Structure 1
Amino acid sequence: MSLAASTESVHVRAPGKINVYLGVGGRHDDGYHALATVFQAVSLYEDVIARHADDFSLTVSGADDVDDVPLDDRNLAMRAAKLLAAATEYPGGVALEIRKRVPVAGGMGGGSADAAAALVACDALWGTGLSAARMHELASRLGADVPFALHGGTAVGTGRGDQLNPALARGRFDWVLVTSEHGLSTPVVYGRLDTLREEEGALADDPPLSLDVPIPVLQALRSGDPGQLAETLYNDLQAAALFERPDLAQTIDIGIRAGALQGIVSGSGPTIALLCADPEVAQDVQTALRRSGQEALHVHGPVPGARIIV
């Protein structure tokens, strides 16, 4: 991963993700929820450019809502750079430039992609030469989705989602993503899930510490058949996200009527991921959603994780 430390700048591209499957356990006393999820990296990217500097700074461009992106230590990319510097005893700083394409607060892990890209970019810029295992360990300390953004592809995540195992996914899966001008807060969505479960009496007294991804999900990915995968799409957070944003259900309905095999809220939302049979159908679905006044993007997966762009 390392380049010569004398390099003036390093450009790294990292993908956003969707959750093909997301099972959420009950809330423990410490607020922790066990997760079982399948991530798939898709062709919607964040670009991070790192340049030598005496101190740490950050600029953001590209997305319509960049004003909502913090430029201090609340930003995962800034924290990633400082964590790497501390871990390697690097004495200088870095000027980070983030060019966003993944929606802010959209449930697609854009901030995590920025953090993964910042780790790779700074490691190369500074010539610190960390091993893949050490990079994964640092990524895990930054957040549950950061290790996956580092590796990409398709993977099963357990624990908090940061314990990763690669999943075999044959072929290409075409998705239409419907983004939203207004994000959803992940803590709010999880809180709503807990409330809904309490109201339904479905919250266990002693929630399990770990969950498993159902075998049919993994079999569908291995088959490479979008129709088979569509039957297994699932998100425990979807009911909570739809409670906060009832309009998202209409978006899914429009997509399915236009030809999508199935639709799902991605992660904690509000981005909707619609699985399509092939690129041609995806283009039809994208057109229909745009005609309804919504922002729709055609992407595919799986794609690699954070990579240096030469």
Structure 2
Amino acid sequence: MSDGEETAFAKLNLALHVRGRRADGFHDIETLFAFCEDGDTLTAEPADALSLCATGEFAEAIGAGENLVTAAAEALREASGSQSGAAIHLHKRLPVAGGIGGGSADAAAALRLLNRLWGLHWSPDRLEPIARGLGADVPACLHSTPMRGDGKGDVLRTQDSGLSGAPVLLVNPREKLSTPDVFAQWDGLDRGELGDWRHGRNDLESAAAVLAPQIGAVMAWLSAQQGVDVVRMSGSGPTCFALFETIEQRDRAETGVPREWWRLATRLR
């Protein structure tokens, strides 16, 4: 990868336990983040001003106004005191509002990319406060390595999932879900702490399925595939994922995904 290119790695929540509603309107969660090898792609070139051009299947969802990529660029420029600009190109292949950190991953990738382009050489720890101001998932996406997330998901500590290189298939029924809307549907029951993620769950699955009933069909379809290890919804949905024992089993399943659904066959980082 060149200094002018960065991948916005797709985020997965291997498990997501909602423990309660906070006074600030957010929720306390416990989650294990993992990241895929693939995602959106950002490139940038030096320029007098900041600009963003988006292409790809989901480019139209970005819009021409303020978004997390330009917000990240502006925040980094302000924090660093830089007067530099950048012509940023985003190739958008991840669904928007899909539960896989599309916007958050894009913002994090923009921070990493512009940190290099502008010659700042800031460490991830120094970039993290900026990421924190952009959204709860952006700090984890900044690191894009397996991490345990507590609080709003932004209290992080490294936790090896032991899954690096694991074949995974992501499937989205081509629906968008608002994270606040899904949390508003949560039943408020604390079902216990997150221990071993394999015995965990995503407490937002039922809430998301109320708003996007096809989630049930996607999870049932994934669960029926040969070689599946774990099937869950990621984040607030509606993207679901299946971990497979072998790449061949994943690829065989990928060819059978119903045509109307979005899919991404990849591996975990």
TM-score by length of 2: 0.91
1:275 to 225, 243, 251: 243
2:258 matches 1:298: no
Query: Among 149, 156, 164, which residue is 1:157 paired with?
Result: 149
- Is it true that 1:245 corresponds to 2:212 in the alignment? yes
Paired AA for residue 27 in structure 1:
R
Contact residue 241 and residue 265 of structure 1 kept, 8 A: no
After superposition, give the CA deviation of every residue in 1:185-222 in whole Å (9 maximum; x if it has no partner).
111111111xx33xxxx479xxxxxx8531x22xxxxx
> Judging changes above 3 Å, is the alpha-carbon distance between structure 1 residues 29 and 203 closer, same or farther for their aligned structure 2 residues?
farther
- The residue number in structure 1 matching 2:256 is 288
Match of residue 176, structure 2, among 173, 183, 197 = 183
Q: Percent identity?
A: 32
Unaligned runs of 5+ in 2: none
Report the residue type matching 1:145 in the other structure.
D
Determine the structure 1 residue equivalent to 2:76: 84
Aligned match for 2:42, one of 39, 48, 55: 48
User: Structure 2 counterpart of 1:283, which letter?
Assistant: D
Whole-Å separation in 2 of the counterparts to 1:131 and 1:168: 21
TM-superposed deviation, 1:240:
0.5
What letter corresponds to residue 286 of structure 1 in structure 2?
E
* Cα distance in 2 for residues equivalent to 1:212 and 1:96: 41
Pair 1:235-2:227 in alignment: no
Question: 1:112: Cα distance to partner?
Answer: 1.1
Q: Give the 3-state SS of the residue equivalent to 1:142 in structure 2.
A: coil
User: Is there any run of 5+ residues in structure 1 with no aligned partner, and where?
Assistant: 4-8, 205-210, 218-228, 304-310
Q: More deviation in 11-20 or 49-58?
A: 49-58
Q: Which residue of 2 aligns with 1:102?
A: 94
Counterpart CA distance in 2 for 1:23 and 1:168 is 18
Alignment partner, residue 12 of structure 2: 18
CA distance in 2, matches of 1:160, 1:233: 18
Q: State how 1:33-44 maps to structure 2 within 5 Å.
A: 33-44=27-38
CA contact (8 A) 1:58 1:72 kept: no
Quick check: 2:173–2:215 contact (8 Å CA) kept in 1? no
Q: Which residue of 2 aligns with 1:213?
A: 194
- Deviation of residue 17 (structure 1)? 0.9
Q: State the secondary structure of the residue aligned to 1:234.
A: coil
Question: What displacement does 1:166 show?
Answer: 1.1
Alpha-carbon RMSD across the aligned residues, in angstroms, is: 2.1
Q: Tell me the matched-pair count.
A: 266
Give the TM-score normalised by structure 1.
0.80
Q: Look up the equivalent residue of 2:84 and give its one-letter code.
A: G
Letter of the 1:96 counterpart: I
| Cα distance change on mapping 1:293 and 1:127 into 2, 3 Å | closer
